[in-house]
């Protein structure tokens, strides 16, 4: 049984440097890192001291609000550094990996027979809970939250993103275990989307509601899926989990070990040989970046895809949720008459002497230039063309900017995450920071009402 | 050292200083800045506000060129008419001539220059005082203003109106993107109400008609609508083709329906202007015209009525005379002052067309209503949007019946909310 969803509104951003579907093993990283930036609104309380020896899967810290929610080390080794920022806020933990990896052994848990409480406790204790995110607010799910449904998008449409079908191959057992376990934590359904002509292992799972989705980006964003199936109302909670994280959850249940291994797509026009690597959460990006080679000396490395990721450096580390690393040229140069000359080599959502509408299949080499200056909102009706949700994007953004809580609620802020506004941000003529505006709006709403 | 590097050094030098916005405004005209993305999306589409505004200006240039020739043509045509010579308009015969161009350039280009110089000066002053970048809104406004005024408008009048329009119409609200009324139309309205003798009547629409008035060389400067409003519909000799191609007197740029139509199609094709507003405004104008035609053919309006001339005017001809077409294509579609929701745009446009024709017919003193209609709908656009958006909100609330509608600013809200979300 599957249900078909067609997305009409949107825009595919075709970039040069899609990862070739070949998996290599990345050289081992010496140091692994947990970046606290990945865990929005989490206040860490450390459990181990600097210099302590930890095993893979051993808790490093917990969230101050929920003492049962553990965050664990991806590898075994020595906690060599705790990097702190202003007011001693913890920014990053660095672990020097052992040559021989040792794991914390939880007993395997049979998802079929275990109770919901056992599963919940196991996920919290083992460090798998942070993979479960919730909407509203786009934060890690509360440990005692009761979701009305769980949503998983197995369709990747973001530019240069890892192909979900490809990275999940051969992981059927893990996926099934994770789905069965998570299914027990909700009274509702587990909604899974895959592409229409996909051979994804997700499509064959039991205990899910399968949706075949087609159309341009953002068809693959989980927010689009939620909006089309069962939009979140005020007071309701929905969980979202990325498919690659289901594999880690599944393996934990099957073997009792937290295995942080993950297949990562390395892509972008600045990469010589874009392809897939298996590595671990928190691995140094340089380990696999230089295995593929970089083409230029002025480039930007993005932890995640080019629309939603964050900027990092070669000595940065793979983010907790990321299975894509993009490397594109920096655009820190002036362009003569860039505002009025005909443009063939950049993407545009208009036809104002821009010609990307003539070549929908062409792949582009976009850089990080803003292509203009920040302005007040002027144009209307443009965002709606790439925003498939039943929400007024411009009005919601303005409500967030003026901090009008009632308007934010009523216009649907509970239903969205910043990533849902990545495409409107991309085409924004006024170059407004949409994702930041939405993030700040969500934070405010969480603080005032959450 | 190249120009690019020199300018970059200057930019760094001015950074944080008072004059930075003024320098940047000029710099960014030459070079797209080297700013890179910091948060959110790392790549951006190529469109920016400068390109958007530039596209509108491109759509206006043919209209301006036509307006220059037409200013000269109407001048000579009126002299011919005063001498009893009847002329046929012909594009290459007596329209695109040096004589016409010289008269037109002499009268129209000063309007363009004054409009831009004064308006941009105000923008720069405000940008420097408030320390924000110079936004591009005035690039289009500055081009629109000379096209919607009578050809002989004194330059000092225009300068005062531009200052009023930019300051009161735009800057007091916070500049580009924040204004409620279309700045170009605010300027036009100021001129109309402050100097009515220069903005209406049967003399102002043709170059030279005002200064020759009362002399032996007097010429007429009446528009088609003016004739109709005075019930002298039979006195003008313009054919439908003349009206469509634009060989008629009127404000500088409003006459050529053909070029305005092409400009409108260009704006729709480039996705800069809203086709919804344009189409619904045309429909609105036709609807009102049909109603008046119907009233006339049912015999409700006596031929002696002062409204008879315009009411009996064929409904579709309203679109090719006066400023209606220009207003619909270039002014009603202003995204800042128009309705912002796609559904709202249909209502907004329809009422602009509808009310324009209504004002035309019922305002014999000044038989053109489009600028008043657009200003009126500018004021109502937020209301239209409000109801459209409430529709969306209601749908969301209905989905979640348990949630009560919270009164704005109500007390005890927090407790109520806590109960719901637990």
**What is d(CA B48, CA A226) in angstroms, rounded to the nearest whole number?**
32
> Do the Cβ atoms of A305 and B43 come closer than 8 Å?
no
User: How distant is the Cα of B256 from the closest Cα of chain A, in angstroms?
Assistant: 23
Structure tokens at B115: 């409009």
Range B109-128 burial, b when 16+ CB lie within 10 A, else e: eebbebbbebbbebbbebbb
Q: What would the pLDDT profile of A152-183 be if each residue is shown by its tens digit?
A: 999 999 999 999 999 999 899 999 999 999 99
Q: Quick count: other Cβ atoms within 10 Å of Cβ A116?
A: 13
Note the pLDDT of residue B402.
52
Helical spans, DSSP H, in A99-171: 116-126, 164-167
What is the average per-residue pLDDT within B331-343? 93
Q: Does the pLDDT at position B370 exceed 60?
A: yes
**What is d(CA A386, CA A392) in angstroms, rounded to the nearest whole number?**
12
Q: Does the pLDDT at position B221 exceed 80?
A: no
Nearest to A140 by CA among A44, A255, A282, A252: A44
Q: What would the pLDDT profile of A291-336 be if each residue is shown by its tens digit?
A: 888 888 889 999 999 999 999 988 899 999 999 999 999 988 888 8
**What is d(CA A218, CA A33) in angstroms, rounded to the nearest whole number?**
30
Note the pLDDT of residue B364.
67
Note the pLDDT of residue B419.
46
Average pLDDT, chain B: 87
Q: What would the pLDDT profile of B77-132 be if each residue is shown by its tens digit?
A: 888 888 888 788 788 888 888 989 999 999 999 999 999 999 999 999 998 888 88
**What is d(CA B388, CA B345) in angstroms, rounded to the nearest whole number?**
10
Q: Does the pLDDT at position A413 exceed 50?
A: yes
Does A405 touch chain B if contact means CB atoms closer than 8 Å? no
Q: Say whether B272 and A382 touch across the interface (CB within 8 A).
A: no
**What is d(CA B177, CA A401) in angstroms, rounded to the nearest whole number?**
15
User: How distant is the Cα of A384 from the closest Cα of chain B, in angstroms?
Assistant: 9
Between the alpha carbon of residue B128 and those of residues A25, B31, B135, B200, the distances in Å are 57, 20, 12, 38
Interface test with B, best of A352, A418, A425 (most B CBs within 10 A): A352
What is the average per-residue pLDDT within A176-204? 90
- CB burial of residue A270 (10 Å; 0-12, 13-18, 19+): buried
Beta bridge partners of A418: none
Structure tokens at A109: 């848990």
> Could you tell me which residue, B299 or A253, shows the higher pLDDT?
A253
Whether residue B304 is preceded by a cis peptide bond, meaning omega within 30 degrees of 0, is no
Structure tokens at A304: 């995640």
Residues of chain A with C-beta less than 8 angstroms from the C-beta of B267: none
Q: Say whether A234 and B403 touch across the interface (CB within 8 A).
A: yes
Q: Say whether A376 and B135 touch across the interface (CB within 8 A).
A: yes
Name the residue with tokens 């440097």. A17
Report the Cα–Cα distance between both ends of chain B, in Å, rounded: 66
- CB burial of residue B186 (10 Å; 0-12, 13-18, 19+): buried
Note the pLDDT of residue A75.
93
Structure tokens at A120: 């919940």
Q: Quick count: other Cβ atoms within 10 Å of Cβ B394?
A: 12
**What is d(CA B143, CA B380) in angstroms, rounded to the nearest whole number?**
25
- CB burial of residue B163 (10 Å; 0-12, 13-18, 19+): middle
Rounded to 5 degrees, φ, ψ at A113 are -100, -20
What is the average per-residue pLDDT within A402-422? 93
Q: What would the pLDDT profile of B176-215 be if each residue is shown by its tens digit?
A: 888 999 999 999 999 999 998 888 877 888 888 888 877 7
Q: Does the pLDDT at position B241 exceed 80?
A: yes
**What is d(CA B85, CA B103) in angstroms, rounded to the nearest whole number?**
20
Instruction: Please name the residues in contact with A14: beta carbons below 8 A apart, sequence gap of 6 or more.
Output: A159, A361, A362, A363, A364
List all residues of chain A from 137 to 196 with a beta carbon under 8 Å from chain B. Answer: 159
Helix (H, G, I), strand (E, B) or coil at A422: helix
A97-111, A259-273, A312-326, B227-241, range with the lowest pLDDT: B227-241
> Do the Cβ atoms of A184 and A253 come closer than 8 Å?
no
Q: Say whether B40 and A436 touch across the interface (CB within 8 A).
A: yes
Nearest to A130 by CA among A47, A40, A190: A40
Nearest to A151 by CA among A213, A197, A109, A199: A213
Name the residue with tokens 């979640």. B400
Q: Say whether B47 and A348 touch across the interface (CB within 8 A).
A: yes
Q: What angle do CA B352, B357, B361 make, to 5 degrees?
A: 145
**Of residues B34, B47, B342, nearest to A334 (C-beta):** B34
Q: Does the pLDDT at position B421 exceed 60?
A: no
Q: Does the pLDDT at position B412 exceed 60?
A: no
Number of residues in chain A: 450
Residues of chain A with C-beta less than 8 angstroms from the C-beta of B43: 13, 15, 159, 306-307, 328, 366-368, 426
> Do the Cβ atoms of A368 and B43 come closer than 8 Å?
yes
Name the residue with tokens 């760094």. B12
Rounded to 5 degrees, φ, ψ at A305 are -85, 170
Note the pLDDT of residue B307.
81
- Residue A145 region by backbone torsions, left for phi larger than 0, else alpha for psi between -120 and 50, else beta: beta
Rounded to 5 degrees, φ, ψ at B419 are -60, -40
Q: Quick count: other Cβ atoms within 10 Å of Cβ A156?
A: 24
Whether residue A136 is preceded by a cis peptide bond, meaning omega within 30 degrees of 0, is yes
Q: Say whether A429 and B48 touch across the interface (CB within 8 A).
A: yes
Interface test with B, best of A37, A144, A378, A441 (most B CBs within 10 A): A378
C-beta pairs of B412-415 under 8 Å, 24+ apart in sequence: B414/A449
**What is d(CA A324, CA A322) in angstroms, rounded to the nearest whole number?**
6
Predicted TM-score (pTM) of this structure: 0.90
User: How distant is the Cα of B272 from the closest Cα of chain A, in angstroms?
Assistant: 7
> Do the Cβ atoms of A311 and A302 come closer than 8 Å?
yes
**Of residues A330, A376, A427, nearest to B177 (C-beta):** A376
Which residue is closest to B38 within chain A, CA to CA? A311
Note the pLDDT of residue B29.
85
Highest mean pLDDT among A440-444, B17-21, B29-33, B317-321: A440-444
Note the pLDDT of residue B420.
47
**Of residues B34, B39, B137, nearest to A436 (C-beta):** B39
Interface test with A, best of B1, B8, B33, B42 (most A CBs within 10 A): B42
**Of residues A349, A380, A392, nearest to B45 (C-beta):** A349
Kindly state the helix (H) or strand (E) to which residue A82 belongs, with its residue range.
Answer: strand A77-84
What is the average per-residue pLDDT within B17-45? 87
Q: Say whether B341 and A382 touch across the interface (CB within 8 A).
A: no
What is the average per-residue pLDDT within B390-402? 84
What is the average per-residue pLDDT within A385-395? 93
**What is d(CA A114, CA A131) in angstroms, rounded to the nearest whole number?**
20
> Do the Cβ atoms of A375 and A431 come closer than 8 Å?
yes
Note the pLDDT of residue B418.
47
Q: Does the pLDDT at position B410 exceed 70?
A: no
What is the average per-residue pLDDT within A376-397? 93
**What is d(CA B321, CA B327) in angstroms, rounded to the nearest whole number?**
12
């Amino acid at each position: 049984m599957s249900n078909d969803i067609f997305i009409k509104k949107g825009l595919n951003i075709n970039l040069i440097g899609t990862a070739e579907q070949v998996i290599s093993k990345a050289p081992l990283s010496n140091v692994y890192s947990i970046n606290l930036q990945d865990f929005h609104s989490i206040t860490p309380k450390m459990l181990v001291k600097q210099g302590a020896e930890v095993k893979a899967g051993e808790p490093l810290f917990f969230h101050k609000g929920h003492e049962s929610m553990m965050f664990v080390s991806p590898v075994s080794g020595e906690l060599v550094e705790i990097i702190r920022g202003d007011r001693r806020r913890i920014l990053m933990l660095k672990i020097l990996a052992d040559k021989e990896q040792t794991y914390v052994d939880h007993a395997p848990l049979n998802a079929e027979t275990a109770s919901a409480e056992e599963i919940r406790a196991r996920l919290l204790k083992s460090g798998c809970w942070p993979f479960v995110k919730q909407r509203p607010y786009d934060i890690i799910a509360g440990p005692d939250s009761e979701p009305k449904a769980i949503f998983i998008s197995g369709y990747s449409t973001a530019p240069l993103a890892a192909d979900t079908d490809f990275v999940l191959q051969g992981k059927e057992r893990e996926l099934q275990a994770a789905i069965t376990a998570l299914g027990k934590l909700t009274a509702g359904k587990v909604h899974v989307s895959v592409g229409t002509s996909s051979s994804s292992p997700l499509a064959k799972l039991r205990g899910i509601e399968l949706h075949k989705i087609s159309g341009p980006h953002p068809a693959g964003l989980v927010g689009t899926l939620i909006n089309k199936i069962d939009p979140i109302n005020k007071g309701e909670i929905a969980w979202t989990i990325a498919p690659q994280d289901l594999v880690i959850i599944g393996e934990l249940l099957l073997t009792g070990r937290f295995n942080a291994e993950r297949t990562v797509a390395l892509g972008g026009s600045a990469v010589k040989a874009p392809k897939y690597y298996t590595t671990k959460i928190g691995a140094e990006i340089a380990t696999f970046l230089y295995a593929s080679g970089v083409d230029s000396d002025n480039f930007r490395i993005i932890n995640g895809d080019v629309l939603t990721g964050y900027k990092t450096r070669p000595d940065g580390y793979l983010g907790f949720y990321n299975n894509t690393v993009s490397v594109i040229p920096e655009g820190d140069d002036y362009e003569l008459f860039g505002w009025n000359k005909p443009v063939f080599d950049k993407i545009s959502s208009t036809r104002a002497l821009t010609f990307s509408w003539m070549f929908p299949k062409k792949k582009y080499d976009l850089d990080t230039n803003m292509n203009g200056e920040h302005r007040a909102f002027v144009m209307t009706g443009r965002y709606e063309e790439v925003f498939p949700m039943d929400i007024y994007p411009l009005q919601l953004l303005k409500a967030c900017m003026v901090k009008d809580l009632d308007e934010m609620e009523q216009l649907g802020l509970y239903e969205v995450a910043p990533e849902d506004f990545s495409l409107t941000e991309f085409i924004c003529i006024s170059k407004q920071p949409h994702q930041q505006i939405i993030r700040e709006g969500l934070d405010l709403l969480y603080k005032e009402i959450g | 050292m190249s120009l690019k590097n020199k300018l970059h050094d200057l930019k760094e030098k001015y950074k944080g200083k008072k004059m930075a916005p003024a320098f940047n405004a000029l710099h960014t005209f030459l070079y797209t800045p080297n700013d890179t993305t910091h948060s959110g999306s790392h790549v951006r589409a190529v469109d920016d506000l400068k390109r958007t505004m530039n596209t509108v200006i491109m759509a206006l240039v043919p209209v301006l060129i036509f307006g220059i020739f037409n200013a000269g043509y109407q001048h000579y045509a009126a002299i011919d008419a005063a001498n009893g010579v009847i002329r046929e308009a012909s594009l290459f015969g007596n329209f695109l001539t040096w004589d016409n161009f010289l008269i037109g350039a002499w009268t129209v280009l000063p309007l363009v220059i004054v409009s831009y110089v004064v308006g941009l000066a105000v923008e720069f002053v405000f940008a420097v005082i408030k320390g924000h970048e110079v936004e591009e809104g005035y690039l289009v406004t500055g081009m629109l203003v000379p096209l919607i005024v009578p050809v002989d408008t004194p330059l000092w009048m225009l300068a005062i109106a531009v200052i009023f329009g930019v300051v009161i119409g735009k800057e007091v609200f916070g500049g580009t993107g924040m204004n409620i009324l279309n700045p170009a139309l605010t300027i036009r309205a100021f001129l109309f109400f402050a100097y009515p003798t220069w903005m209406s009547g049967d003399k102002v629409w043709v170059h030279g008609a005002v200064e020759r008035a009362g002399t032996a060389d007097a010429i007429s400067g009446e528009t088609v609508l003016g004739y109709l409003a005075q019930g002298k519909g039979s006195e003008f000799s313009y054919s439908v083709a003349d009206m469509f191609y634009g060989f008629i007197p009127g404000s500088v740029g409003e006459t050529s329906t053909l070029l305005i139509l092409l400009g409108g199609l260009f704006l729709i094709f480039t996705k800069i202007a809203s086709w919804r507003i344009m189409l619904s405004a045309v429909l609105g104008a036709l609807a009102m015209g049909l109603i008046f035609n119907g009233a006339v053919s049912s015999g409700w309006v006596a031929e002696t009525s002062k409204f008879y001339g315009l009411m009996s005017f064929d409904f579709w001809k309203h679109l090719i005379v006066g400023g209606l077409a220009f207003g619909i294509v270039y002014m009603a579609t202003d995204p800042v002052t128009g309705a912002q929701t796609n559904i709202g745009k249909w209502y907004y446009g329809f009422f602009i067309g509808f009310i324009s024709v209504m004002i035309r017919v019922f305002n014999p003193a000044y038989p053109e209503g489009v600028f008043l209609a657009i200003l009126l709908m500018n004021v109502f656009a937020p209301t239209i949007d409000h109801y459209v958006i409430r529709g969306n909100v209601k749908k969301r609330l209905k989905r979640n019946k348990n949630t009560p509608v919270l009164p704005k600013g109500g007390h005890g809200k927090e407790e109520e909310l806590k109960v719901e979300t637990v």
